[in-house]
Amino acid sequence: TIERTFSIVKPDAVKRNLIGAIYQRIEAAGLQIVAAKMLHLTKEQAQGFYAEHEGKPFYDGLVEFMTSGPVTVQVLEGENAITRYRELMGKTNPEEAACGTLRADFAESMRFNSVHGSDSPASAEREIAYFFAGDEICPRTL
Ligand code: CMP
């Protein structure tokens, strides 16, 4: 099935001029970027986006990091996009991420881990709607 997933290029990667390198890997993996924009998240936006982690020891640091500079947010479309993008990212902890994954190659630590991707169809739907209006998503017609 063709799925959509939600992706963030996080502040650490934007700061290091890695947007293009990450987009290149997404496209080379056969996923289509069907929506994209750059944002500097407010504290409220970051807190709301990561609401499921509220109360965890890393939550405040995560919100601080995610508001520390601009990010890009994307909707990716393709066959099994959710799982395929998670495989492309590798594990949350870059030390455990497989060779050749985005996090193995670009992430600096568990917190500064360069990319986010939805972990399920339900999160993908929620996360896409959190950042994109329906008319901002532009699937290919050819
Ligand atoms: P992400 O996929 O965006 O989802 C939640 C984020 O919290 C995760 O990537 C990491 O950036 C961060 N995170 C998860 N676990 C930890 C942890 N143990 N320490 C610090 N940051 C974490």
| pLDDT tens for each residue of 13-45 | 999 999 999 999 999 999 999 999 999 999 999
Model ipTM value = 0.94
- Long-range contacts, stretch 48-55, CB < 8 angstroms, 24+ apart: 48/130, 49/127, 49/130
Say if residues 138 and 125 touch (Cβ distance below 8 Å): no
Give the tens place of pLDDT for each residue, 42-63.
999 999 999 999 999 999 999 9
Any residues with Cβ below 6 Å from ligand 1, and which? 53, 58, 62, 92, 110-111, 113, 116
Q: Is 53 a catalytic residue?
A: no
Cα(30) to centroid(ligand 1), Å: 26
Cα(78) to centroid(ligand 1), Å: 25
Model pTM?
Answer: 0.97
